Chains A and B, each alone.
Chain A
């Protein structure tokens, strides 16, 4: 069964600190993995997208890693800011079918001053 699991469910960190969010998936076949940031009441906004052959990708203070062998990904946020408070969703794309996005339940990150 194609599933995407994220941990932790929620996380509270102090402004300026780093954090790492985890994503494990069982989607097969696999095409790519995306991390999205979703502010409350808004649509998901893409942070990174990685294909099978990529194992790291950065977007400013966000760095995503991918281990396609173990089917794990992480999103590392450096020097967190208050505006980083949001849900971070791991989304895995399979290769077949139009419905080829499998969503995780997200990690709710709260950055406090």
Chain B
């Protein structure tokens, strides 16, 4: 069964450093998402991406965040200057062109900012 692949599985970084989280969505999917989940809290929407541009973003997704689809397969989330409160699980998800299709989530990247 097709999977969404995320790397790395765990990233530890110092406060103020830049991190790039990587995702390979399912190849024929059209919509891509980043979500995050702070430990013990619900999953929160960060950003959606369609047709090579951001289609929607949440209040969390401020100027420190950016997304890219540098080639036909990868989808990245960059945090320019990490803060302690950025520590969370970050999930990439993708789906096909019907909203009744399932969203497929990756296994996540656990980001720890120290």
Q: Tell whether A pairs with B.
A: yes
In the complex the two chains form, what is the Cα distance from A89 to B55 in whole Å?
25
Point out the residue from A31, A34, A44, A49 that lies within 8 Å of B91, measured CB to CB: A44
Q: A31-B100, A44-B91, A49-B100 are in contact. Are A98 and B48 (CB under 8 A)?
A: yes
Least CB distance, B24 to chain A, in whole angstroms: 13
Cβ contact within 8 Å between A45 and B99: no
- Residue numbers in A under 8 Å from B91 (CB-CB): 43-44
Assuming the contacts A43-B105, A43-B107, A105-B42, asked whether A95 and B48 have C-beta atoms less than 8 A apart, the reply is no
Give every chain A residue within 8 A of B100 (Cβ-Cβ): 31-32, 49, 51, 93
- CA separation between A111 and B103, bound complex, in Å? 27
Does chain B have a CB within 8 A of A70?
A: no
CA distance A53 to B37 in the complex (A): 31
Q: What is the interface size of chain B, counting residues whose CB is below 8 A from a CB of the partner?
A: 25
CB-contacts of A31-55 with B (<8 A): 31-32, 34, 36, 41-46, 49, 51
CB-CB under 8 A from A98, the residues of chain B are 31, 48, 50, 55-56
**Bound state CA distance, A79 and B50, in angstroms?**
41
A46 to B44, CA, bound (A): 17
Which residues of chain B come closer than 8 Å to A106, judged between CB atoms? 42
* 22 residue pairs bridging A and B, Cβ less than 8 Å apart: A31-B99, A31-B100, A42-B107, A43-B6, A43-B107, A44-B91, A46-B104, A51-B100, A89-B43, A93-B99, A93-B100, A95-B99, A97-B56, A98-B50, A98-B55, A98-B56, A99-B48, A101-B103, A103-B42, A103-B43, A104-B42, A105-B41
